[in-house]
Amino acid sequence: MAGVSDPQRYVLTFGCPDRTGIIARISGFLADHGGMIVEAAYHTDPDSGWFFTRQVVRADSLPFDAAGLRDRFTAVADELSTESSWQVLDTGERPRAVVLVSKAGHCLYDLLGRVASGELDVEISAVIGNHLALADITRAHGIPFHHVPFPSGGKAAAFAEVRKLVEEHDPHAVVLARFMQVLPAELCEAWAGRALNIHHSFLPSFVGARPYHQAHTRGVKIVGATCHYVTADLDAGPIIEQDVIRVDHGDSVEDMVRKGRDIEKVTLARGLRWHLEGRVLVHGNRTVVL
Q: What are phi and psi of 17, to 5 degrees?
A: -55, 140
| CB atoms near residue 290 (< 10 Å) | 19
Of 222, 214, 264, the residue nearest 241 (C-alpha)? 264
Q: What is the pLDDT of residue 249?
A: 85
Walking along the chain (290 residues) 10 residues at a time, the average pLDDT comes out as 71 97 97 97 96 98 98 97 96 97 97 97 98 98 98 94 98 96 95 94 67 75 89 91 88 84 95 98 95
Beta bridge partners of 128: 100, 146
First to last CA, the chain: 14
Domain ranges of the chain: 9-90, 96-289
Verify whether residue 235 is a known catalytic residue.
yes
Annotated catalytic residue within 60, 235, 248, 262:
235
Q: What is the pLDDT of residue 4?
A: 47
Q: DSSP label at 158?
A: H
| This model's pTM is above 0.85 | yes
Beta bridge partners of 88: 12
Burial class (CB in 10 A: 0-12, 13-18, 19+), 13: buried
Q: What is the pLDDT of residue 214?
A: 75
Give the CATH fold of the 96-289 domain: Rossmann fold (3.40.50)
Q: What are phi and psi of 124, to 5 degrees?
A: -80, 100
Give the CATH fold of the 9-90 domain: Alpha-Beta Plaits (3.30.70)
Q: What is the pLDDT of residue 204?
A: 64
